[in-house]
């Protein structure tokens, strides 16, 4: 899968990019703001976006909603150190899931596999996305 990473913590995003590659996926771009995430999404049309919820220059929630308004089939997974916020729920944000930081390789592989499966199902027109549970 083609993955876009959007996180304002540069060291974390570099480690995450290495982790995504180690899981066998391509990283199309790593950006550090919500505004840059929207621009990179338009440019690369990734299969999945791993996006930090709290970023400068447009937060993840606003960027998520903007991307999904342009591409309702977009697949966005939030990254966050905080789990108990209503804005993070898939029902509120439109994101597929919330991944708690720090994220393990096993959890990342599991969620990317699930996202790939859901995206393929959605593209085949069988059914729309359903939210997945957040967790570690």
Across the beta sheet with 48-52, the strand order is 26-31, 2-6, 48-52, 76-80, 97-100
The yes-or-no verdict on residue 51 having pLDDT over 90 is yes
pLDDT of amino acid 118:
79
Q: What's the CATH code of the domain at 103? A: 3.40.50.2300
Q: Could you tell me what percentage of the chain is helix, strand and coil, using 3-state DSSP and rounding each to the nearest 5?
A: 45, 20, 35
Q: How many domains does the chain have?
A: 1
Is 63's pLDDT higher than 90? yes
Lookup: tokens for 59? 């937060």
On whether residue 71 sits in a domain, the answer given is: yes
Quick one: DSSP state of residue 97? E
**Per-residue pLDDT tens over the stretch 10-50:** 999 999 999 999 999 999 999 999 999 999 999 999 999 99
Residue 134 lies in a domain: no
Please, what is the end-to-end C-alpha distance for the chain in angstroms?
22
State the pTM of this model: 0.84
Burial class (CB in 10 A: 0-12, 13-18, 19+), 126: exposed
Q: Is residue 93 part of a domain?
A: yes
pLDDT at 131 over 70: no
Is residue 131 in a domain?
A: no
**3-class DSSP state for residue 74?**
coil
Is position 128 within any domain?
A: no
Q: Lowest-confidence range among 33-37, 49-53, 70-74, 94-98?
A: 94-98
Containing structural domain, residue 104: 2-123
Question: Is 132 part of any domain?
Answer: no
pLDDT tops 50 at residue 129: no
Is residue 86's pLDDT more than 70?
Answer: no
Asked, for residue 113, whether it belongs to a domain, the answer is yes
């Amino acid at each position: 899968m083609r993955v876009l990473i959007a996180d304002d913590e540069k060291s974390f995003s570099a480690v995450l990019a290495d982790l995504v590659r180690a899981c066998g996926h391509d990283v199309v771009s790593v950006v550090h703001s919500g505004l840059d995430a929207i621009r990179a999404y338009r440019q690369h049309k990734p299969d999945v976006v791993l996006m930090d919820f709290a970023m400068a220059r447009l937060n993840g929630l606003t960027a998520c909603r903007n991307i999904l308004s342009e591409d309702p089939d977009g697949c966005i997974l939030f990254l966050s150190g905080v789990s108990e916020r209503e804005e993070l729920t898939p029902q509120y944000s439109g994101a597929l899931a919330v991944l708690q930081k720090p994220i393990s390789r096993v959890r990342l592989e599991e969620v990317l596999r699930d996202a790939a499966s859901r995206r393929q199902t959605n593209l085949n027109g069988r059914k729309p996305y359903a939210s997945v549970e957040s967790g570690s």
